[in-house]
Structure 1
Amino acid sequence: MQSVFKLTKYIKPYLLFAIIAPIMMVIEVSMDLIQPTIMQHIIDNGIADNDKPYVIKMFIFMVLCAVVGLLGGVGCGIYASKTAINFATDIRQDLYETITYFSNSNKDRFTLGKLITNITSDVEMLQRALLMLLKVFVRGPLTFIGAIVIVFITARELFPILLFVVPILALAIFFFTKLSGKLFLKVQEAVDGVNTKVQENLAGIRVIKAYNRKKHQIDQFTTVNGTLMKRNIHADQIIGILMPLTAFVVNIGIILALWLGAIKVENDTIEVGMILAFINYLMMIMGGLMSSSNVLMQIARAIPSANRIVEVLEEKPEIHNISNPIISSIKGEVTFENVSFAYNKNNEPVLKNISFRAKPGDTIGIIGMTGSGKSTIVQLIPRLFDADQGVVRIDGKPIAEYDLSTLRKAIGFAPQKATLFSKTIEENVKYGRDEATLEELIEALESSCALEFVEKFDDKEQHFITQGATNLSGGQKQRLAMARAFIRKPAILILDDTTSAVDSISEKRIQQAIANHFKESTKFIVSSKISSIRHADTILVLDDGCIVGKGTHEQLIATNEAYQEIVSTQVVRGGTLNE
C-alpha cells in the first residue's frame, strides 16, 4: 500500500475533479435509496387505499428522483474519467522520462519486457482502479450502509435476516479480495514474459527467417503465452466463485424474507409493501457489497502494479550529474588514465589499464579483434558507462564533473548499430541538432554520402523511414546515422564501425569530408578495417581489452606484431592494401 500512497501525488493536479465525482455519486445513490421506500408507500398507502392522486404524486416524485440520479451518475462518470485518465497519463509520462535516463545496467535489471508492461498494462491497471474507486467505491459502501440503516428504521421486523446474510457476504468478499492480489501479481509476471518474447522476436525477425527458426520461436511464444493463459484462467476461475456464492446467500435471504414476511403479514405486524421494499434493499446490499468487492479486487490487482511502477520511478540512474557540474564549453581534448571497465562486475574486465591522450583536432583510430573492447572505449566518452577504475578526462577535467547535457551536446556519436526512428529522413538527421538549417542538413547528407540515395526518393529528405528502417539497406542506415552525427558539428566526433556496410569509394569520400569539415574536432574512428583508420594521427591496437600497440600506420606496420597480423589479413587483389 505504501506504493499506492506514493502515487497519490499524481492525483493532486486533478483534486477538484476527484472531489466532484464522489459528490455526484452520493447524489445518485441517495436517489436510488429513496426508490424502494417510495414504492412501499405507493403499495401500502396508495394502492391499498385506492388513492389514485397519491399514487400519481408518488410516481412523479419517483421519476424526478430517477432523473436527478441520472444526472448525478453522468456527472460522476465524466469527472471520474477525467481524473483517472489524466492521472494515468502523467504516470506514463514520468515512467517514460525515467526510463530514458536509465543506463544499460538499469535496463538490464528490469528487462525491456517488464518496462513495456510497466508503461502499458501496469499503468492501465492503476487507471481502472482509480476510475472504479471514484465511480463505484463511493456507490458500494454508501448503498450498503444506507440500505441497512433504512431497513433498520423502516423494516425492523425483518432486520435479523441481515444479521445472517451480511457477515457471510463480508467474509467471502474479504477472503477473495485478499486472494486476488496474489493471483494477479502472477498474471502480471506472465505478461512480462509475453512482452519480452514479443520484443525479442520482432527485433530479431530477420535472423529468425534467415535460420528458418520460425517454428522454434512460435513454440517458445506458445509456452509463455500458455503460462499467461493458465494464470489468467486460474485467477478468473477462483475470483469467479464470488458472484454465484453471494447470489446464493442473497437468495437464501430473500427466501427467509418471504417466509418471515408471510408470517408477519398474517399476524398484521407488517404490510406487503414492506416485504417488497426489504427485498429491494437486500438486493441493494448485495449490489453494494459486490461493487465494493470488485473495487477492492481491482485495487488488490493494482497494488502489485503500483509496486512495480514505483520501483521503476525510484530507480536511480547509475549515470547522473554531480552537484554543481561543469557547464562550460568543451574544446575536445580527451585523456584516458589507467581506465578499466567490466560490464559484469563479477567477470574479467573488458578494458584493462587503458591510457592515451587525444588533442583537439586529432584523429584516433581504434582497431582490434572482435571483443577486444573497441566500442567500449568510445562509449565511455559520452558516459554511456562509467569506468570502474582510472579516470577519463575531457579538457583536463574528470568526465564525471561535466553536466551530462553539456557533455553529450559536444559529442557527435554514430554507434555500431545504426538506429533510426520511424520519422522522415530530415527528422532523423536533425535528431542530432533540431535547429539545423536545410543547407546544414544537405551538407551533412553530402558528407556522409547519403545525399546520393536520398535525392533518388520522390520526396527526398521528407522520405518516411519505417519502424526499424526496414525500407533502407544497411549501408543507407549507416550513412544516415553518420549524417546525424555530422550535423552536430561536435567538438568530439565518434564513429563506431559506421562504414562496415559502406563501399570503399563512398568510404574514401566520407573520410575526405571528415578531413575537410571537422579539422577542429577530436575524431575517434573505430573499425575492423585498416582502410578506415590508416590515416589517423594515432592508432590504438587493442587485444583482449589492452592496448598492445600505439602509433601511426607506418610506425605500427614496422614494429607492432598484432597490427602486422591484421594488415596481413586485409591484403587485396594485387598484393596492396585497400586504400
Structure 2
Amino acid sequence: MHAISRLKKYIKPYLLFAIIAPILMILEVAMDLLQPTIMKHIIDDGIANNDSPYVVTMFGLMILCAILGLVGGVGCSIYTTKASVNFATDIRKDLYQTITYFSNRNKDHFTLGKLITNITSDVEMIQRALMMLLKIFVRGPLTFIGAIIIIFFTARELFPVLLFVVPILAFSIFFFTKISGKLFLKVQEAIDQVNTKVQENLAGIRVIKAYNRKNHQVDQFTAVNGSLMKRNIRADQIIGILGPLTMFVVNIGIILALWLGAIKVENGTIQVGVIIAFINYLMMVMGGLMSSSAVLMQIARALPSAKRIVDVLEETPDIKSNENAMKATLKGEVEFDQVSFTYIEENEPVLKNISFKARSGETIGIIGATGSGKSTIVKLIPRLFDVTEGEIKIDGIPIKQLDLQTLRESIAFAPQRATLFSKSIEDNVKYGKEDATFEEIIEALQSSQAYEFVEKLDAKEKHIVSQGATNLSGGQKQRLAMARAFVRKPSILILDDTTSAVDSISEKNIQKAIKENFEDTTKFIVSSKVSSIRHADQIIVLDDGYIVGLGTHEELLRGNKTYQEIVETQIVKGGVLSE
C-alpha cells in the first residue's frame, strides 16, 4: 500500500478527469441496466397484448438509452485516457530525472536492465491499471450490483439461481487474482533479465563480432528469453483458466434459470419476458464479475511494478549537494589531501593516500600503468565518485561543501570513452555550453582539430551523429568530445586519455590550442603517452594506486625510476618524446 500512497500524488493534477470519467461510466451502466427491463416490457406488455404503439414507444426508449450510453462510454474513455496517460507521463519523467542523479553505485544497485524495465514496462503496467480502474472497475461492480438489485425486485422467483452462481464466481476470482500477482512479479523480473542481456549485447556488438561469439550470445539470450516465456505461459495459463471456468458456472446458472423458469411459467407464476430479462441480467452479473476480476488481476500485476517504481523514486543518490551547499565562482585551484578511494568497500583501495596541489592555470599530467588509478583521480574532482578517505578542495573549499551543480558547471570533462548523442555535431558540442554561439562552436571544433573533418561533411556542423556514433571513427569521436569540453571555457579542464586515437600532428596542434586558449584554466591531462604530458607543470606518476613520482618532466627523468622506465619503453616503441 505504501507504493500506492506514494504514487497517488501523480493523479492529483488530473483529479477532475479522474472524477468525470466514472460519472460518465455510471451513465453508460445505468442505460445498459435499463435495456433488459425495457425488453421485458416489450415482450410481456407490448407483444403479448398486440399493442404496437407501446412496442414502438419502448423501442424508441431503447434507442435513446443506447445513445445516452454511447455518450457516457465515449466520454468516459476520453477522460480516462487523459488522466491515465498524463499520470504515467509524469511518473516516467520523475523516474528519468531521478535516474540521471544516480551515481554509479545507485545504477549498479538496480542494474541498467531493471531501470529500463522500470521506465517502460512498469510505468505502462500502472498506466493500464489506472485506466481499467477508472473505466472498467466502475462499470463492473455497478453492473454486478445493479443487475442483482433489479433481479431481486423484478425476478425474485429466479433469485436463488444467483445464490449458486455468485459465490462460486467470487471465490474463483479471489483465488486466481491472488495467484496471478505473484506470478506476474516473476514475469517482470524475467523482463529485467532480458532487457539487461539486450542492453549488454548491443553495447558490445563489435566485440561479439570481432570474436565471432554471436552464437554464444544468442544461446545466452535464448536462455533468459526462454525463462521469460515459461513464466509468461504459466501466468497466462492460470488466468486463462478463469474465463472458461466462469463461463461454465454461468452456463449452469442459465440452465437452472431456464429449468426453474419453465416450471414457473407453466404454473403461471412468471411470464416469458421475465426469464429473458433474467438471463440478460445474469450475463451482466457475469460480465460485471469478469470485468472486475480483469481489473483486480491488472492491479495485482501493477502492484509489483508500482513497488519497483517507488523503490527507484525513493532511492537516495549517493552523491548530492548538502543542505547548506555553497555557490561560488571557482578559480580552479585543486588540492588532494590524503585521498583514498575504493569502488567496493570490501576490496583494496584503488587510490591510496593521494596528496598534491594544482594551482590555478597549471597543467597537471597523470601517467602510470594500466589500472594504476589515473582515470579514477580525475573522476573524483567533479564528484562522479566520492572519496572513501581524505578530502578534495577547490579554492580551499572542500568539494562536498560546494553546490554540486556549481561544481560541475566549473568543470569540463572529456572522458576516456568518447560518448556522443544521436543529434547533430553542433548539438553535441553545445552540450558543453547550451548558449554557445556559432563562432564559439567553430572555435572549439578548430581547437580540437575536429573542424578539418567536419567541414568536409555535406551538412558540416549540422551532420547527424548516429546512435553510438557508429558513423564516426574513434579519433573523430575523441576530437568532438574535446570540442564539447573546450566550448565550455571552464575553470578546470579534464582530458582523460582523449588523444589515444588521435595522430601525433593533430595532438600537437591540440596541445598548442590548449596552451593558447586555456591559460587561466587548471588542466588535468591523463595519458599513457609521455608525449601528451611532458610539457605539464606537474606530472603525477601512479603505480598501484600510490603516487610514486611528482614533478616536471626533467625532474622525474633525473630521479624517478618508474617514470624513467615508462620513457625508455616508449622511446623503444617509436621515439614518442620528439618535440
Secondary structure of 2:494's counterpart equals strand
For 1:345, the equivalent position in structure 2 comes to 345
Aligned counterparts of 1:562 and 1:245: Cα–Cα separation in 2? 78
Secondary structure of 1:281's counterpart equals helix
For 1:313, the equivalent position in structure 2 comes to 313
For 1:549, the equivalent position in structure 2 comes to 549
Aligned counterparts of 1:103 and 1:16: Cα–Cα separation in 2? 38
Residue type matched to 2:563 in 1? Y
Secondary structure of 1:202's counterpart equals helix
* Alpha-carbon distance, 1:573 to partner: 7.0
State how 1:273-292 maps to structure 2 within 5 Å.
273-292=273-292
State how 1:63-142 maps to structure 2 within 5 Å.
63-142=63-142
| TM-score, scaled to structure 2 | 0.99
> Post-superposition, which runs of at least 4 consecutive aligned residues in structure 1 deviate over 2 A?
572-579
For the 8 Å contact 1:342–1:349, the answer to whether it is kept is yes
* Alpha-carbon distance, 1:122 to partner: 0.3
For 1:529, the equivalent position in structure 2 comes to 529
What RMSD, in angstroms, separates the aligned Cα atoms of the two structures? 0.8
For 2:419, the equivalent position in structure 1 comes to 419
Could you tell me which runs of 5 or more consecutive residues in structure 1 were left unpaired when the two chains were aligned: none
Aligned counterparts of 2:576 and 2:96: Cα–Cα separation in 1? 52
Aligned counterparts of 1:5 and 1:316: Cα–Cα separation in 2? 19
Secondary structure of 2:356's counterpart equals strand
Aligned counterparts of 2:568 and 2:182: Cα–Cα separation in 1? 63
For the 8 Å contact 1:429–1:483, the answer to whether it is kept is yes
Taking a change above 3 Å as real, the CA distance of residues 149 and 445 of structure 1, as seen in their structure-2 partners, is: same
Aligned counterparts of 1:171 and 1:41: Cα–Cα separation in 2? 34
For 1:272, the equivalent position in structure 2 comes to 272
* Alpha-carbon distance, 1:337 to partner: 0.2
Aligned counterparts of 1:94 and 1:574: Cα–Cα separation in 2? 53
Residue type matched to 1:480 in 2? L
State how 1:14-413 maps to structure 2 within 5 Å.
14-413=14-413
Aligned counterparts of 2:370 and 2:141: Cα–Cα separation in 1? 66
Q: Cα deviation per residue 1:210-256 (whole Å; 9 max; x = unaligned)?
A: 00001111111111111111111110011100000000000000000
* Alpha-carbon distance, 1:377 to partner: 0.3
| TM-score, scaled to structure 1 | 0.99
The number of equivalent residue pairs is 579
Relative to structure 2, which stretch is displaced further, 18-27 or 47-56? 47-56
Aligned counterparts of 2:397 and 2:230: Cα–Cα separation in 1? 57
For the 8 Å contact 2:448–2:510, the answer to whether it is kept is yes
Secondary structure of 2:493's counterpart equals strand
For the 8 Å contact 1:539–1:552, the answer to whether it is kept is yes
Taking a change above 3 Å as real, the CA distance of residues 275 and 555 of structure 1, as seen in their structure-2 partners, is: same
For 2:439, the equivalent position in structure 1 comes to 439
Aligned counterparts of 2:165 and 2:5: Cα–Cα separation in 1? 34
Secondary structure of 1:569's counterpart equals helix
Taking a change above 3 Å as real, the CA distance of residues 69 and 573 of structure 1, as seen in their structure-2 partners, is: closer
Residue type matched to 1:204 in 2? G
Residue type matched to 1:309 in 2? I
Aligned counterparts of 2:578 and 2:567: Cα–Cα separation in 1? 10
For the 8 Å contact 1:572–1:578, the answer to whether it is kept is no
Aligned counterparts of 1:97 and 1:573: Cα–Cα separation in 2? 47
Q: Cα deviation per residue 1:185-221 (whole Å; 9 max; x = unaligned)?
A: 0000010011001100110010000000011111111
For the 8 Å contact 2:177–2:297, the answer to whether it is kept is yes
For the 8 Å contact 2:364–2:523, the answer to whether it is kept is yes
Secondary structure of 2:379's counterpart equals helix
Could you tell me which runs of 5 or more consecutive residues in structure 2 were left unpaired when the two chains were aligned: none
Aligned counterparts of 1:6 and 1:432: Cα–Cα separation in 2? 36
Aligned counterparts of 1:20 and 1:314: Cα–Cα separation in 2? 31
Taking a change above 3 Å as real, the CA distance of residues 36 and 486 of structure 1, as seen in their structure-2 partners, is: same
For the 8 Å contact 2:531–2:576, the answer to whether it is kept is no
Secondary structure of 1:340's counterpart equals strand
Residue type matched to 2:13 in 1? P
For the 8 Å contact 1:571–1:578, the answer to whether it is kept is no
Aligned counterparts of 1:265 and 1:575: Cα–Cα separation in 2? 109
Q: Cα deviation per residue 1:334-390 (whole Å; 9 max; x = unaligned)?
A: 000000000001100000000000000110000000000000000000000110100
Q: Cα deviation per residue 1:500-556 (whole Å; 9 max; x = unaligned)?
A: 000011000000000000000000000000000000000000001000000011111
Residue type matched to 2:56 in 1? I
Residue type matched to 2:25 in 1? M
Q: Given the alignment of the two structures, is residue 457 of structure 1 paired with residue 424 of structure 2, yes or no?
A: no
Taking a change above 3 Å as real, the CA distance of residues 338 and 297 of structure 1, as seen in their structure-2 partners, is: same
For the 8 Å contact 2:530–2:576, the answer to whether it is kept is no
For the 8 Å contact 2:102–2:317, the answer to whether it is kept is yes
Q: Given the alignment of the two structures, is residue 484 of structure 1 paired with residue 484 of structure 2, yes or no?
A: yes
* Alpha-carbon distance, 1:578 to partner: 3.8
Secondary structure of 1:371's counterpart equals coil
* Alpha-carbon distance, 1:575 to partner: 5.8
For 2:571, the equivalent position in structure 1 comes to 571
Secondary structure of 1:416's counterpart equals coil
Q: Cα deviation per residue 1:416-446 (whole Å; 9 max; x = unaligned)?
A: 0000000000000010001111111111001
Q: Cα deviation per residue 1:15-72 (whole Å; 9 max; x = unaligned)?
A: 0000000000000000000000000011111111111111111110011001100000
Secondary structure of 2:418's counterpart equals coil
Secondary structure of 1:138's counterpart equals helix
Secondary structure of 1:570's counterpart equals helix
Aligned counterparts of 1:576 and 1:227: Cα–Cα separation in 2? 53
For the 8 Å contact 1:525–1:533, the answer to whether it is kept is yes
Secondary structure of 2:571's counterpart equals coil
* Alpha-carbon distance, 1:574 to partner: 7.7
Taking a change above 3 Å as real, the CA distance of residues 573 and 32 of structure 1, as seen in their structure-2 partners, is: closer
